[in-house]
A and B are shown apart, each in its own frame.
Chain A
């Protein structure tokens, strides 16, 4: 426990001290909200789908969490390069505790960003349909954050330096976001796209939050919970396997 705690504290300290990146990370969701939220609103309404801001809000929150959590996950790469990983790896603590500490630290940072973006969506007109459901929304938000932090850490464990990172952004993170239910409804999609969004765990995270925040959903909220949990367990399993193989 103390290991998880101290790794978690460390990540929060680093996050709070880097205010520039905190503000920077809020830029992208803001642009998305303005460009898509307002730009596509009339089209969405004309198609009889209702208020697009209401629809896209949870998607943008999920996007922020996805990008932030994968990115903080890759702090593992920095730790490798600056040698700090050696310090944690020779300590009398298990690799699993280190993995959990890193994952939860990254997830907390990502969840904070997600909550900040939630307030931004409120500013541009998003309205949660029921206050009672907010804790449930938070649960999905946290699950998304933990899942993708675990994914980020598992990926970072494989990489020696940041050179491979653009590849990860373009072939893992971007597809996860754009090929999910974040920006458009899953109903009535072309077959292949529909299939891809259905096997994408982010779709379930977004859908769960949409259920809690906007009161509409495509999947059952229980299914979303189950899928997210299953992917989380898988990500941690891959992560611990990769962690045990790291040679410094």
Chain B
């Protein structure tokens, strides 16, 4: 469903994404993990036609993302990490804008908006201007809007950041249902490793713009020799610091990574 081939993104001299290659199968729930600044959001921006790679090729649902951006955009939906709401509109208007932009028919969107606003518990504030919302409320609205149309691939860039466990649970159940019932491929990033264990299937870990590990949850745990993804993540991404601090030899590292 998603194919990334030798993709590099440079901002001036700085290489944010360094020659990565990835495959995400149709119907997968793919967790794209990495510490802050690893290059996750940059990768997602390239996948969603917002940013052109410096080099490499990307295919999404069979479309070459750079050459056929319009076709590509028909295949995905996204919840951005950063705010992207219109503060001068009401919550409902933001949802409606999205629905019309995506060509959802009126009887479908009226129903869905209602359901999604209930899901994120914003029904009673639907006619308030977004500028009067708290950070958490904006986040919830942002997610509800992202779930409004049912694409083939759904990108979720740290969707649950700053949300309470109940809301996170609601949202994830909805996403899981989308994945199971409509075979929507999910590509998400998060810092909550329990979300990965609970909902994720395949994982890639990126650090300093490079993919350092990929596989299923079990494979990653096995390779890292840890019981949890959290420990595996720390072990793998903490690697470089330890290597510098304690003279870990390259071969030890390779053995430790099981390669």
Contact = CB atoms under 8 A, between A and B. Distances in A.
Contact of B48 (A5, A6, A90): A90
A23 interface: no
A92 B84 contact: no
Contacts of B89: 10, 13-14
A91 B86 CA distance: 15
Contacts of B103: 2, 92
B50 A93 contact: no
B191 interface: no
Contacts of A91: 73, 98, 101-102
B72 to A, nearest CB: 9
A89 interface: yes
Given A92-B103, A247-B51, A10 B97 contact: yes
B101 A248 contact: no
Interface of A: 2-3, 5-6, 10, 13-14, 17-18, 82-84, 86-94, 247-248
B51 A90 contact: no
A131 B121 CA distance: 56
Contact of A6 (B51, B74, B82, B101): B101
A17 B97 CA distance: 17
Given A18-B88, A90-B48, 7 more contacts: A2-B100, A82-B83, A82-B84, A83-B82, A89-B50, A94-B70, A248-B45
A83 B41 CA distance: 14
B211 interface: no
Nearest to B50: A248
Contacts of B45: 248
Contacts of B84: 82-84, 86-87
A247 B49 CA distance: 9
Interface of B: 45, 48-52, 70, 73-74, 76, 78, 80, 82-89, 93, 97-98, 100-103, 145
A45 B98 CA distance: 57
A5 B96 CA distance: 13
A92 B49 contact: no
Nearest to A83: B84
A204 to B, nearest CB: 34
Of listed B78, B80, B100, B101, residue having the most chain A CB within 10 A: B101
B98 A87 contact: yes
Contacts of B101: 2-3, 6, 87-88, 91, 93
A10 B89 CA distance: 8
A180 B76 CA distance: 48
Given A10-B89, A84-B86, A90 B49 contact: yes
A90 B154 CA distance: 12
A82 B48 CA distance: 18
A6 B109 CA distance: 15
B50 A92 contact: no
Contacts of A18: 88
A6 B80 contact: no
Nearest to B49: A90
A91 to B, nearest CB: 4
Given A2-B103, A92-B103, A14 B88 contact: yes
Contact of B86 (A10, A90, A92): A10
B88 A17 contact: yes
The 4 A-B residue pairs whose C-beta atoms are closest, nearest first, are A83-B84, A92-B74, A248-B50, A92-B73
A10 B74 CA distance: 22
Nearest to B103: A2
A25 B59 CA distance: 48
Contacts of B48: 90
22 contacts: A2-B103, A3-B101, A6-B97, A10-B93, A14-B89, A18-B88, A82-B84, A83-B80, A83-B82, A84-B84, A84-B86, A86-B80, A86-B84, A88-B101, A90-B49, A91-B73, A91-B101, A93-B101, A247-B50, A247-B52, A248-B45, A248-B50
Nearest to B75: A92
Given A2-B100, A247-B50, A247-B52, A92 B70 contact: yes
A133 to B, nearest CB: 38
A248 B102 CA distance: 20
Contacts of B80: 83, 86-87
Contacts of B85: 82-84, 87
A84 B83 CA distance: 8
A13 B87 contact: no
A247 B48 CA distance: 11
B133 to A, nearest CB: 13
